[in-house]
Amino acid sequence: MSKITVDARACIQCGACVRVCAIADVFEIRDGASVAVRPERCWGCGQCVSVCPVDAIDHDAFPLEKCPLIDNGRQPTGEQLAILMRARRSARTFAERPVPRDIVRDLASVSRWGPSAQNSQDVDWIAIDDRARITEMSKATLDEIRRFSHLMRHPVLRGVLRLFLGRELTKSAGRNPRVGEELLDRWAKGLDPVFYNAPVVLVGHTRSRRAFARDDAIYAAYNLMLAAERQGLSTCQIGIFQMTAEHSNKVRRMLGLSEGRTAQVTLVLGYPLHPFRRLVPRRMPELVWNPR
Ligand SMILES: Cc1cc2nc3c(=O)[nH]c(=O)nc-3n(C[C@H](O)[C@H](O)[C@H](O)COP(=O)(O)O)c2cc1C
């Protein structure tokens, strides 16, 4: 349980900690000061310490020396942020240049600043930078695709697949039967159509069967992708491997995932062989106010 105390002499009863902690509901104003009346409900997000205008809250997980003041002057402008977002592209060509492990470690570390359901902070990473193992994983993915395409040709087995994989995935595979064949063709020509010969593959994983685990992993991955872009590295999400990792025990074993952990997102990372020079336009999302 968290140890939280409020310095009653410093507290100005502004109620900010009470209001920001609306779901866990740890604080109440009592006898002229805020008091952590339900510390057992704290889920460790640190918003109370982050918001208190007079630094009156002492939370054992958030000592003030680990919680620097937010310096708005050091934040990127809206335009700088948008340029970074637009500059991030999915790379499928990589230079034959290894990515130093320290850089990969730093990128995994910034992934933690994303939101997570109930502040679970549960996304961890597996990094693979061994070429032979990456090739093995590509091969396993293509073996699965081959098996899958074979089963999809059989009307009864297609129905069984739908039960296991869900209607959407089976329908989408049925709509694009050529995709699997094209990947297999490229593999036969000595190319790597799964990981594009990237020097690093990153797999974000979480506890299995936790609500919103995929969402947490995607936020973490997107942070990592933006940070990589800022460092001159490129990334691409590899959904095709993700699907394999979800359904193949062999791939699970290859990843060394422990019991109770599930792969949620897969990325490739490396220095781009052909860096992108121009930002391109994108469809403007529709925005509807107060629809009926
Ligand atoms: C959920 C998801 C799965 C993806 N899976 C793959 C994949 O398996 N292989 C691949 O080359 N790109 C994959 N991509 C990358 C998309 O093709 C890419 O984001 C899209 O074409 C837009 O290009 P951009 O990221 O350069 O803007 C995936 C992207 C997402 C969001």
Domain locations along the chain: 4-66, 78-292
pLDDT-derived band at 173, boundaries 50, 70, 90: low
Q: Is the pLDDT of residue 176 over 70?
A: no
Indicate whether residue 90 lines ligand 1 (CB < 6 A): yes
CA distance 138 to 22: 46
Q: How far, in Å, is the centroid of ligand 1 from the Cα of 5?
A: 47
Q: Is the pLDDT of residue 120 over 90?
A: yes
**Domain 4-66 shares a fold with domain 78-292:** no
Q: CATH number of the domain at 78-292, please?
A: 3.40.109.10
Atom nearest to 280 CA in ligand 1: 27
pLDDT for residue 145: 85
Q: What is the mean pLDDT of residues 42-56?
A: 97
pLDDT (tens digit per residue) in 211-225: 999 999 999 999 999
Question: What percent of the chain is modeled with pLDDT above 70?
Answer: 92
pLDDT for residue 237: 98
Q: CATH number of the domain at 4-66, please?
A: 3.30.70.20
pLDDT (tens digit per residue) in 243-290: 889 888 889 999 999 999 999 999 999 999 999 999 999 999 999 999
Q: How far, in Å, is the centroid of ligand 1 from the Cα of 29?
A: 50
pLDDT for residue 149: 75
Q: What is the pTM of this model?
A: 0.91
Atom nearest to 196 CA in ligand 1: 11
* Residues paired with 263 in a beta bridge: 205
pLDDT for residue 165: 63
pLDDT for residue 158: 67
Tokens found for residue 153: 């040709």
Q: Which has the higher per-residue pLDDT, 146 or 81?
A: 81
Least confident of 23-37, 60-74, 117-131, 147-161: 147-161
Q: How far, in Å, is the centroid of ligand 1 from the Cα of 143?
A: 21
pLDDT for residue 172: 65
- Ligand 1: which of 237, 242, 274 to mutate, judged by most atoms within 8 Å of the beta carbon? 237
